Amino acid sequence: MLDLTADVRTLTARIVDIESVSGGERALADAIEQALGDLPHLTVYRDGDAVVARTDLGREQRVVIAGHIDTVPIVGNVPSHVEGERLYGCGTSDMKSGVAVQLKLAALVPEPVHDVTYVFYDCEEIEADRNGLRRLAAQHPEWLEGDFAVLMEPTGGFIEGGCQGTMRIEVAARGKRAHSARSWMGHNAIHEAGRAIDILREYAPRRPEVEGLRFHEGLNAVFVSGGVAGNVIPDECVVTVNYRFAPDLSAQDAEQHLREVFADYDVRVTDVAPPARPGLDHPAAAAFVRTVGDGQARAKLGWTDVARMSELGIPAVNYGPGEPTLAHTKDEFVELDAIVDAEKRMVGWLTGVDADTAAAAVADAIGDVDKG
């Protein structure tokens, strides 16, 4: 059971304590569906372990507030615990604190200034073909319709526009097998791959400015495989390379660039996820930056599902209370004050009032519940 009248910090801890490693989100999805189903101003839908809840007030605009409910595997960091002003536990930062804010918004703001669609989806932390948001986009695109979207990914309380694309390639160095006692009769593919490593070592990543935000690319080897036996000169060595590219490039541009960089090698693309441009000039996005981010935004240097929203034609930003550098770590935590601040700012945005008034409204709502 999830008590949506609880303080957002308490709610975060409860959500963390419901284990939801990718592929095992059923218990948390059930709890979210039940909690939202008790709110009469929402219409709730379910697909697998994804839950969608919508207001239908006839507002001029509809916004989508989305977050994934799965986590990476647990490493002795559930249940959660509090130390000082921090809540520790798997998913505290990425991104159950953001999910808690979503749920509190659903409960605290029954008549928002925009119609709202709340999306809680599964399997974000694993392979893309299992991603719950991708499944919803394919099977129920009407559930995701909107004019603007916020992904409650961990951003440290900053608004992060767009996202970088990611591409993995295999760079294959060829050689000729021979007995290692007569190595001169062959050609060592592992040695040949050393030149590819040198290319990576000397590579200068771009730092382009896209729509006013500074991105920072990266090109790195992430795997090396090669060798046949201890007495054989290998005839193949493969270096797997990950390219994180800015949103001024398309996936096709990125592939062409990598083929030029590794022109002397066989190159095979094994995985790609396109980037998303910031889109902060969209009126709804600009208003969000003014209201929630005090007019400030920065680039998202990783990949998030804002790219999937962009593919649907919905401008989107990342915003959440978690700290991205703590995601997936054993000692993951979230600052308790950061969760409260995100709730306050989001309530202010959805109600059309300033942050201080929103904070007072949240406090009054919690006080009324406590008295009841």
Q: Which residues are annotated as catalytic?
A: 70, 124
Beta-carbon count within 10 A of 365 CB:
16
- Provide DSSP, 255-297: HHHHHHHTTTSEEEEEEEE--B---TTSHHHHHHHHHHSTT--
- Provide DSSP, 225-241: EE---TTEE-SEEEEEE
Q: In what helix (H) or strand (E) does residue 342 lie, and over which residues does it extend? A: helix 336-351
| Interatomic CA distance for residues 348 and 355, integer angstroms | 5
| 167: CB partners within 8 A, 6+ apart | 242, 243, 245, 251, 254, 255, 258, 269, 271, 272, 273
Query: Amino acid identity, residue 259?
Result: R
Beta-carbon count within 10 A of 39 CB:
16
Find the distance separating the first CA and the last CA of the chain, reported in whole Å.
Answer: 19
| Interatomic CA distance for residues 311 and 273, integer angstroms | 11
| 110: CB partners within 8 A, 6+ apart | 39, 41, 55
